Amino acid sequence: MLVLGIESSCDETGLALYDTDAGLLSHALHSQIAMHRDYGGVVPELASRDHIRRVLPLLEQVLDEAGRQRRDIDAIAFTQGPGLAGALLVGASVANALGFALGVPMLGVHHLEGHLLSPLLTADPPEFPFVALLVSGGHTQLMEVRGIGDYVLLGETLDDAAGEAFDKTAKLLGLGYPGGPEVSRLADFGVPGAFDLPRPMLHSGNLDFSFAGLKTAVLTQSRKLGNICEQDRANLARAFVDAIVDVLAAKSMAALKATGHKRLVVAGGVGANRQLRERLDEQARRRRATVSYPDLAFCTDNGAMIAFAGAMRLQAAPELGRRAYDYGVTPRWELSELRLPGR
Ligand code: KG4
Ligand code: ZN
């Protein structure tokens, strides 16, 4: 079965072709980062308009790269939510129109399920069950993943997401958007321990997170310093990264302990962070647990994870493929609502 995946929930237009026998055939991405940079964040209306411009050329690109034609497509998966309503509608419209024209089923995929399953796209995929640390710009969650569509929320952020904390800290330090990679790079020049920032909820006794206070602590420190020099900026970035990595790693290990699982899977944009990866690898090794990451290209938003999640769902429950073409999107959507029919 050849599944076309379309991702358009935020600021990346991603398309991909996944074949259930041959694996990922092709994927293509257009990032709007350069367009939104001047505004310091994503402008929803600009995002929607750009998805419209990009989606069909990218479709031709993935077909060409895979040596396939439109009529070879057996099903279409698109990101139905969560995300920006206008941006989601672009993917939904194309998926529905194309599904109708080709007479093939389509299904809406949950963006976070895409992230959650993206480590399975690697050459050596982890087996179920595992604990997933989902760290993106909009979400920070620990989930127990027992199988496709069988997800138990173990803990989540009570306020800012980890990626949001990176982005806001970057702004405070005068760095560009998106902030994650820039803060991470600057932190490499910082002296460890030069500033001591809080580790919010480290000892809360549960698996929830809170990052709003951390960003405020960065703000307070930078105000105290006044005219901040290059080294202080790097030291602050380092203190921020150390604090957030401490909390994410400690809670991930606590989730492994609580569930008894030996496999941790990291997904979402912040999963690209090198400092986080190093810490998780080191702590997991001590517990004789393994950590899997998606390939770097599949950490941030992409079409491959949507094609893959769609293919997995359709294989598990073919009745999920709909021919009632209706353009529905779900900008707010809980992952726990994703149980497969009859399970
Ligand atoms: O998963 P994603 O592409 O989009 C959402 O679904 O939100 O994640 C984007 C987030 C941004 O906040 C970005 O700053 C962060 O991931 N990010 C990073 C890194 N690369 C991307 N954060 C820390 N270190 C990185 N290397
Ligand atoms: Zn995402």
Q: Say how many CA atoms lie within 13 Å of 71 toward its Cβ.
A: 0
CB under 8 Å to 186, separation ≥6 — which residues? 173, 175, 233, 234, 237, 238
> In this structure, what token pair is assigned to residue 87?
């941006």
Going from the Cα of 301 to the center of ligand 1, the distance in angstroms, rounded, reads 9
Q: Which ligand is nearest to the CA of 160?
A: 1
On the question of pLDDT at 103 being above 90, the answer is yes
Percentage of residues of the chain with pLDDT beyond 90:
89
Give the Cα separation of 256 and 67 in Å (integer). Answer: 43
Atom of ligand 1 nearest to the CA of 178: 14
**301 annotated as a binding-site residue:** yes
What spacing in Å lies between the alpha carbon of 134 and ligand 1's midpoint? 11
**pLDDT tens-digit series, residues 143-160:** 999 999 999 999 999 999
* Domain 2-117+298-337 belongs in CATH node 1.20.120.1200: no
Distance in Å, CA 305 to ligand 2 centroid: 10
Amino acid at 99: G
**Distance separating alpha carbons of residues 247 and 201, to the nearest angstrom:** 8
Q: What is the mean pLDDT of residues 64-87?
A: 97
Confidence at residue 123, expressed as pLDDT on a 0 to 100 scale: 87
pLDDT at 335: 82
Nearest to 136 by CA among 187, 79, 193, 95: 79
Where does the chain hold its CATH 3.30.420.40 domain(s)?
A: 2-117+298-337, 127-293
Residues with CB under 5 Å of ion ligand 2 are 136, 301
Q: What is the pLDDT of residues 39-58, one digit of tens each?
A: 888 999 999 999 999 999 99
Residue carrying structure tokens 């109708």: 100
Nearest CA to ligand 1 atom 10: 137
Residue 74 pLDDT: 98
Q: What pLDDT sits at residue 302?
A: 97
Determine whether the shortest distance from the Cβ of 163 to ligand 1 is under 6 A: yes
User: pLDDT, tens digit, for every residue of 226-285?
Assistant: 889 999 999 999 999 999 999 999 999 999 999 999 999 999 999 999 999 999 999 999
Q: 14-28 pLDDT, tens per residue?
A: 999 999 999 999 999
With 80 as the cut, is the pLDDT of residue 327 above it? no
Burial class (CB in 10 A: 0-12, 13-18, 19+), 165: buried
State if residue 179 touches ligand 1 by the CB under 6 angstroms criterion.
Answer: yes
21 is in an annotated binding site: no
Task: State in Å: Cα 302 to ligand 2 middle.
Answer: 8
pLDDT tens column, 246-259: 999 999 999 999 99
Q: How far apart are CA 127 and CA 124, in angstroms?
A: 9
Q: What is the pTM of this model?
A: 0.93
Whether residue 77 has pLDDT greater than 80: yes
Interacting residues of 312 by C-beta distance below 8 A, sequence separation 6+: 117, 120, 148
- Tell me what pLDDT residue 13 has: 98
Radius of gyration of the CA atoms of the chain, in A? 20
CB distance 253 to 284 below 8 Å: yes
Task: Write the CB contacts of 56 (distance below 8 Å, at least 6 apart in sequence).
Answer: 94
Atom of ligand 1 nearest to the CA of 161: 12
Residue 319 CB: number of other CB atoms within 10 A? 10
CA of 78 to the centre of ligand 1 (A): 21
Question: Are 25 and 6 spatial neighbours (Cβ–Cβ below 8 Å)?
Answer: no
Q: Residue 177: its pLDDT value, please?
A: 83
Q: How many CB atoms lie under 10 A from the CB of residue 266?
A: 26
Specify the range with the lowest mean pLDDT, choosing from 140-144, 206-210, 292-296.
292-296
In CATH, the number for domain 127-293 is: 3.30.420.40
Q: Is the CB of 138 under 6 A from ligand 1?
A: yes
d(CA 223, CA 221): 5
